[in-house]
Amino acid sequence: MVLKLAGASAPAWHPAAATPVDADITAELRGLKDFSPKPWTARFRELQAADGRIDITNARVQQRDTIAVATGSLGLSPAGRLNGELRLTVANLEAFLPTLGLDQMLSQEKAPSQLNNALGALDRLMPGLGNVARKNAAPMIAASVNLMGRQPSSRASAR
């Protein structure tokens, strides 16, 4: 699968997606044996049973001056949740964080337990990231994690 976007935006999905994005993503879907139309839940069960996965060989996404690159492999756990590892590098992350509406979030008092929960979530996402956040940008990153957790789910499709 290859996805290429040039100046794409989706303002109805999330305010951060209103700013144009360029993306070049190459991935291989493994374990899909049947291409007939099915509900997503059935498709995901089949992929999980076949030990299916998505191997992301190259992903580069740029929005303004923020660039993210990633590679890795994602599968499905027996509970149907994403399971795998992505190696992600983000340049100029601090320029992107305000796009998530962090100025409003930072104006509110946050309980220490919420901050620790958010930083723990960052460590689970990428070991060591929580410690970096504690030292450098804890309030902003913690607020972004809280904000992302409150967004309604959405499905996107690509051709």
So where are the chain's domains?
1-92, 101-159
In angstroms, the CA 134 to CA 128 distance is 10
In angstroms, the CA 121 to CA 129 distance is 9
Positive or negative torsion for Cα 21, 103, 86, 41:
negative
In angstroms, the CA 121 to CA 148 distance is 12
The SS3 assignment for 44 reads helix
Q: What are phi and psi of 7, to 5 degrees?
A: 65, 30
pLDDT per residue, tens digit, the chain (159 aa), is: 999 999 999 999 888 888 999 999 999 999 988 889 999 888 888 888 898 999 999 999 999 999 999 999 999 888 777 888 989 898 987 777 777 655 444 444 444 555 566 666 666 666 666 666 655 554 454 445 444 444 444 444 343
**Model-wide pTM > 0.75:** no
